[in-house]
Every structure is written in C-alpha cells, then in structure tokens.
Structure 1
C-alpha cells in the first residue's frame, strides 16, 4: 500500500481523538547506550563499507536539510515547554541516565539506548541521533473500529497506553512546529501526520502524539517525563532502522527529546561513546542534567556551540593539523555563513570533510604513510597493507583545532581504521563543496561530550567511557 494512502487511512481512523496536554515531572535522567545482538554473517570489511555508503547518503540529506532551512521552525530557547500555555514545574532530581552501547555487532554504525515509553511503560531499543529532532517508535495503531498496522514484535501498542494523546492536525503545533508534518487534515481532530526523511535515505511515516517516558532518576527512583512529542511510525524503510525500534531525536529543537529533557534537567546532556568495536558488554551512559564525570579535574576543553543550523550542533573550527603541521585549508570551509561549517553528529559514523579540507587532510596523512604498500578497497581512497609495515610504523597524529583553543585529539584508530585483518584505511570521507563537514561518532568515541544548551557551550575530554 502506498505510504500516502496508509497515512490517510490512519488519519481517518483517528478522527475521534482529541489532544490532551501532558503534565510535568522532573529529575535527572540517565539512559544506557546498549549494543544490539549481532546478526549472523558479514565481515568487518562489509560492515565498514556499509558505514561508508550510509554516511554518504546521510551527508547528502544533511546538506539538503540545511539548504531548505527551517522554514516552519522557531528557534529553540531551551525553556520548559508549556502546558496549554502555562509553565510546568521543574523536576526534583537534577539528572537521569540511559545506558548507551555501540551497534557495531548488529551490523550498524549507530549507538543505542533503552527507552521506556507509555503508560504502562513499554520497552524499546532506539538509535541515539543528535542529527534529528523527531523521537519515534515503530507503532501499532489501533483506535476503536480500525485495524492496526505494525512493523514487528516490539511495536508500540498505542491502544494500551493511557497517556498516548494524538496531536490534532488543526493545531498550531502541527502547522508550525513539527518537522516534516503533512498538510492532510480530514477533520480538525484528525492526528497530525508526518513523512520524515533521514540523511541516509531512510524514511518514517506515522502520526505525532504527546506521550510520557519512564526515567530512572539520579536518586534511583522512577519518574514520568511528561509532555514529550513522539512519532507513532506505522511504516518505515531504510538500513538505519533494521536493528532498532525507532529513533531518539537529540537534535537542537524545542520538540526533540533533548529539547524537552534538558528544559527540565539544567539545560545539559552528555554522553561517552565506547569504541565501536569494543566487547559487546561494554556500555556507558547518555545523561540529562549535571554529570560529574563530564566535569572532572582538570577542567575539560571547551568551545562554543553554534546553534544556527537547527537541528544540528555546529562548532567553530580554526583548522586541522597533522604531526604539528597546520594544514592549508581555506577558512571559508569552516564558515557557516558561506555555506561551510562543521557539525557533531552521533548518527554519522565516519568523519566527513568538505572537499578542500578532505584533500588537505588525506594528502598530509598519506604522505606520512608513504612506503607502506597500498591496496585497493572500495570505496576508500587510501588503504594500506599493514602487515607489510611490520606493525612498527607510527601513525600520524591528527588534531582538530576547535574555536577557543579547544583541541580535539582523537586516537589514531579513529581516523586510520581497521577494515580487515592486516588492512587499514583512512577513515575519512569527502563531501562536496560548498557544504558542511561532519565529525562522526568514530572520531567522537572514547571522549565524554557535554552539550550545555542553556549556555551554548560544548565541553569534552578523553575518557574510557566506563559505566559508573
């Protein structure tokens, strides 16, 4: 059935639902990032090749979305969302955490969190994505008198959740604030529908609703996070969702999970990404609110968060150096106003540099690896027979110099990556110019990152990302 027809049927089924505003709760939240069980078959090389292909598509979508602009979105002010126009009380606890794990063993380059949604709570595994603003789950819509859809055994049962409140298509929120919402509106009470497109070509179609999530506060108590905007996705397509039940949207937006949660938890969230090829039981946390691990002594490095390309998190870049040599990259490459800039994106695996930056970095790294036999590995430009190097060759040191003298010094394994036994490749991809560059999750790994939305600051430091 065509997605448009399915959406129309869902809208007609929901014509009797009315929106109800949710209340508010508070307390710090911690989400665990978890690794999905590995599928059978598939080599490391096949896995890395799929990352490259997915990242290329994702970069295309990021570029297109930035070019289109946020024509329907007002700026996110990181203040508590209103309840029918009234403010909501702040939570008693100051943080909460979610366990976080790599999805490498499921054949994806994503990181996953476990998420409890609805009343009573239903458990799901979601992709953590700082590059999108919609939180959604695969969903089984069953309003009275209608036959429900569904994508799998862990679909969200909206019919058994007492807190599931569809957002009407006639509401101002649907018309002006919700991403990728459709203009279809059979009746004023029909739910607001969406057709959401991702940078890697994946899509999700469904309806928007207000819901509650269950969170574990820093004091160990369970609480309800109310007033969330979630998507009930009846149809989805794309490799991004094969190993997960949906997406946790952490982009900069007043309707994203990050926007709603940070409004109640001190305006901050943080995460630490374990090595994507670490043991399956390795995990860390996605934390909302103050995180002692994010602010150790000595203080972390710090730079400004530029929040002009909503929902993306942009950082200023002063340059990139290799073995202490500052490369000749035109400054316009890092200028958001000139069509450039750099974003941090947990949903992109490899780091993707706009063409002038890519050519400078690839040339500098490859010069320092001269003498090691080259091998051809599609789709990478520079790959080496590391066995022939005898394991003694020192890898060049690359540093990304962020604005404010904040140097990101990733381990060499994050940009000269293992793609097969005895084979290493430069794990950096090229994006067209003009266009943004993306610091992907592999370059971010083994660092603690704190996004201080209230003060528009990004803090980071090296970390083993151990669970506490």
Structure 2
C-alpha cells in the first residue's frame, strides 16, 4: 500500500510538472540555431535571412536597358480559362532607383506614412457609409450570382509591391489600348474605379514610362453621361464639349462623362471616363473595359501609371468582366521576385489541403471591400478572450473585418489589439525590448541573434479553421540595427483590416460565386 501511495504521489507530481511546463512554454522565447524545430505553439523567425532580404530593397538597381515600351512581359502559364499577371513589390519597379532611401529606417518610415494615409482613407469611407441600413441589406456575395466572363475566360499576371512609388504597394504591368502599350498599375482590392494618367496633362505626376495617349489608340471610346458605367460612378459629371473635337464627335454629340476619385490621403484623379482594351500577359485582349483617363492627378501615386481596381463594386475589373473568382499572392515587400494575379471564369481553386477557407461577406453600405468572417485570434496556440462582436458587422454596416492589399499593417479594434499584444509580450519576456517605434509599441532588439523562437499568431474562422502565420509575417525589421516590431496596430475605425504584411507568401483566393475566401500558404 505504501509503495502504491508513493507511485501515486510521483504520478501526481509528474502530471503537475507537465501542466506547468505546457502552460509556461509559450512564454519562453528561445534563441535557436538555424534548422531547429519549433514547438506547436511557437514559430521560428530567421533573423539573418530577413535582415539580408531587407537589404535588397535598399540595393536594388534595375538594368539600364530594362524595357519600358516593348510588348507585355511574359506571363506565367495560363489556360483558356484564366488571365494571369505578374505581381511586383513597389520597391522593385524601374522608378524605385530614383527614389532610393538612405537606409532601411527611412524606407520603413516612408511605408508607414503611406500606410497611415491608407488607413485614414478607409476609415473615412467607412464612417461616411455606415448608418441606417437594415440587416437584410447585408448578405453574402453568393446571393449575387455573376455571368461567365464574356471578353476573356480568365486573366493572369505578375504582381509587384508599390511602396516606393506612391500610394499602392503592389503593381502589375498591363497593356492598354490598341496597339497595346504596357503600363505599371497599382493592384488595389480596396478600389472600384480603374484609371490611368492620360495626355493631355493638366497636372500629371512622375510615372514609370510614358503617359498614355488616347489619340494613339484605335480602341479608346469616351462614355456618354447616360451610359450605365457613368451612372455607376460615385462621383461623376457631364460636359457638353470635349477637350478634343474628335472625341466629342465620336460620342455622337452626347454629353461626355467625367469621373473623379478622391482618396483619404489627399490624392485624387480627374478626367474622362471611357472604355478601352486591356491586355494581360499572353491572354487575349479584353475590350470595352470602363476606365478613367486622368488629366489631373495629384497625390502619392508617383511611379505607377494608374490603378487596376479589384474591389467588389460594379466598376472594378473583376465585376466588369463577370469573373467568378480571382486570386493573388503577395511576395515579400523586400523581395525582387514576383508572383501572380489570376482572374478566372471558373470556380476558385484553393490548392493543397493546407488551404484555409472562410466566409466572404458583403456590406451593402460599403460594397467596395471584401469582408471575411473572422471569429478569433490565437497567440502561442491559445485563443485570446475576445468577444465575437469584435469581428462582427452590425446592422448599420459598422464593424467587420476586410482583407486589403493596400494596407500594410493589420489594424484591430483597441481591446482586440491589446489582448494580442499582451499575450505576445508574455511569450517573449526573455527578449530584449527597446522602446516603442512610432506606430509599433512592441519591439525587440534581435541584432545579436541569427534566429529566434517566438509565439505563433493565428487567425481563426468558422468551423474551427486556423490560418497560422509565418513568424516573418508578424515580426518585421524596421531599421538596419536589428530592431524588429510586432506588425499589428490598434484602430479607432469601425472595421478591422487584415493587411498585406500578414498576407505575404499566402495565396488569397476569392470565390465570388460561393462567397468563400481561401488562404493557401506557400501557393505562390
């Protein structure tokens, strides 16, 4: 009996010790050699690799003979059912060399200034839109079925980051007009109106390559004020005379449509609203696309020729061609490599079994944005105590969570951010922590480390699904000295935003038919 009692006491002690170890393990940030395996509650940040990659954005020098006027770049392989474009990071466009930053701290400061302007713009739009809407006015995207793509079965192309060339973080090269001429355009899931700078310029900012000349395109056609596209504009006007007699005559003498798009950062574009033919890589040209021809363009858009809108409104490019799905993968902002944007007439393909799916929602008061049904956040494998209402959209259209390609740092409601930050700090108590760094209040001095084990961060969706983020998607370098910060921030806006830092290296797919958004890690 005594022996049994001793065994029981030993068992109880071992059990209690195991509970203590499990409960405290996430709070232990460890300095690990490369190749070490983390625990399920932790992830390894390769400090050496991320610091080395950060230097690419500072040292990138495009070839002096890099083409700017030839036909379009070779796209990734596409089928008759898809249009593909290459996506590039903003700091690796040809114009980036002319806007070189002296060090990585200066580059980060420029990015954060753009990001703050972006968030102000989204917050202002949300504030204006919400209020007085019934619950019946909010419904999943699936209730609005779309017709098959008429002009082209699908479109695919490369994506580039747009941080150093104005407002916009990722870019693709798009052919505009007949014959097609290539232009770098911002890819923006938070915009609905496509536009580019046009001659004659009342005020045009500096861009990569020549400004588009509509008189040199046989497919350019001004839209009349009574056209459905003009009526779909939030801000439009009419005029009874055109800047060119020929353009007015080709419009049958009808009043021509003018557009204006303003952004919360003070940027704006004003000009003629027209239809034009767009070409994407090796895909067939897409004709009759409504696009703004901007003669007066001011603000942060330095470098890009214009913007390709990927929002959910009726004038965005996917909406105009009745795409059934589209997807993109955003490369690391400090990487010179590219990935692809794919717009398809077919259903979304979510890749490997590791893909995480979630509800894709629509806000009738703010139809531009792509809302996702987020239910929770975990740190170190433990769910945070956050009420579901923190992520929900209410009957007025306020709240909710959007997935945005133009916002860099994920913004969360104040209490939600505080819960995440405090849990992360508890799991990194052993790391040297310098003072706050501008937007970021949780930073670490990792200058003496080659790698470090930190708590995992995961987004949770209905059905118990979790998107566990790579460590480099939430702990990012901010200077040349080895300072890293937690890339989340609080917001006073009514909605939360999943930014592009958290999306890097993950294919984000929007199934517009079935109201599903998919996140597929390592599917770029």
> TM-score w.r.t. structure 2 length?
0.72
* Aligned residue number for residue 319 of structure 2: 259
Task: Say whether residues 1:191 and 2:191 are aligned partners.
Answer: no
Aligned pair in 2 of structure 1 residues 292, 79: CA closer, same or farther (>3 Å)?
closer
Q: Is the 8 A contact 2:417 2:490 kept in 1?
A: yes
Measure, in 2, the Cα distance between the counterparts of 1:292 and 1:256: 19
Residues 296/197 of structure 1: CA separation in 2 closer, same or farther (3 Å cut): same
In proportion to residue count, which structure has more helix? Answer: 2
- Contact 2:347–2:513 (Cα < 8 Å) also in 1: no
C-alpha distance in 2 between matches for 1:374 and 1:103: 30
Equivalent residue number for residue 347 of structure 1: 406
The 3 A distance-change label for structure 1 pair 335 and 44 is same
Shift of residue 89, structure 1, vs aligned partner: 7.7
Which of 159, 177, 183 in structure 2 is aligned with 1:100?
159
Inter-partner Cα distance in structure 2 for 1:122 and 1:78: 33
Relative to structure 1, the CA distance from residue 253 to residue 234 in structure 2 (aligned partners, 3 Å threshold; closer, same or farther) is same
1:269 and 2:330 aligned: no
Give the distance between the partners of 1:269 and 1:123, measured in 2 at CA.
Answer: 22
The answer on 1:154 being equivalent to 2:221 is no
Map of 1:50-449 to 2, 5 A cutoff?
50-69=110-129, 77=144, 79-80=146-147, 90=150, 94-103=153-162, 110-141=169-200, 150-152=204-206, 154-175=210-231, 177-182=232-237, 184-186=238-240, 189-216=254-281, 222-239=283-300, 241-261=301-321, 263=322, 265=323, 267-278=324-335, 280=336, 282-289=337-344, 294-298=349-353, 300-308=355-363, 309-337=366-394, 339-371=398-430, 372-387=432-447, 390-391=449-450, 393-421=452-480, 422-432=482-492, 435-449=494-508
How many angstroms does 1:149 deviate by? Answer: 6.3
Distance 1:58 1:105 in 2: 14
The Cα shift of 1:385 comes to 1.4
| 3-state SS of paired residue (1:140) | coil
Partner of 1:21: none
The answer (yes or no) to whether the contact 2:325–2:348 under 8 Å persists in 1 is no
2:362–2:369 CA contact under 8 A, matched in 1 = yes
- How many correspondences in the alignment? 412
1:399 deviates by 0.4
- Mapped to 1, the partners of 2:174 and 2:348 lie a distance apart of 22
How far is 1:291 from its partner?
8.3
Q: Distance in 2 between matches of 1:348 and 1:374?
A: 26
Q: 1:33 matched to which residue of 2? A: 87
SS in 1 for 2:256: coil
CA-to-aligned-CA distance 1:239-278 (integer Å, 9 cap, x gap) = 2x112111110000221112123x1x5x011111111112
Unaligned runs of 5+ in 2: 1-79, 132-136, 242-252
CA separation of 1:164/1:70 partners in 2, compared to 1, >3 Å: closer, same or farther? farther
| CA radius of gyration, larger in | 2
Q: C-alpha separation between the residues in 1 aligned to 2:486 and 2:469?
A: 14
Give yes or no for contact 1:272–1:463 (8 Å, CA) kept in 2.
no
Partner of 1:23: none
Alpha-carbon distance, 1:461 to partner: 1.1
CA distance in 1, matches of 2:417, 2:149: 48
Name the CA distance, whole Å, in 2 between partners of 1:74 and 1:178: 21
Retained in 1: the 8 A contact 2:198–2:212?
yes
- Contact 1:449-1:460 within 8 A present in 2 as well: yes
For residues 362 and 348 of structure 2, what CA distance do their matches in structure 1 show? 25
Q: Are the equivalent residues in 2 in contact too, given 1:104–1:277 (CA < 8 A)?
A: no
Per-residue deviation, residues 28-82 of structure 1 (Å, max 9, x unmatched): 21111134133323322222222222222222221222233399x99984635xx
Counterpart-to-counterpart distance in 1, 2:447 and 2:385: 32
Listed as ranges, the gaps of 5+ residues in structure 1 are: 1-25, 81-87, 142-146
CA 1:290–1:397: 2 relative to 1, 3 Å? farther
RMSD: 2.9
Instruction: Quote the residue 1:10 is aligned against.
Output: none
TM-score by length of 1: 0.80
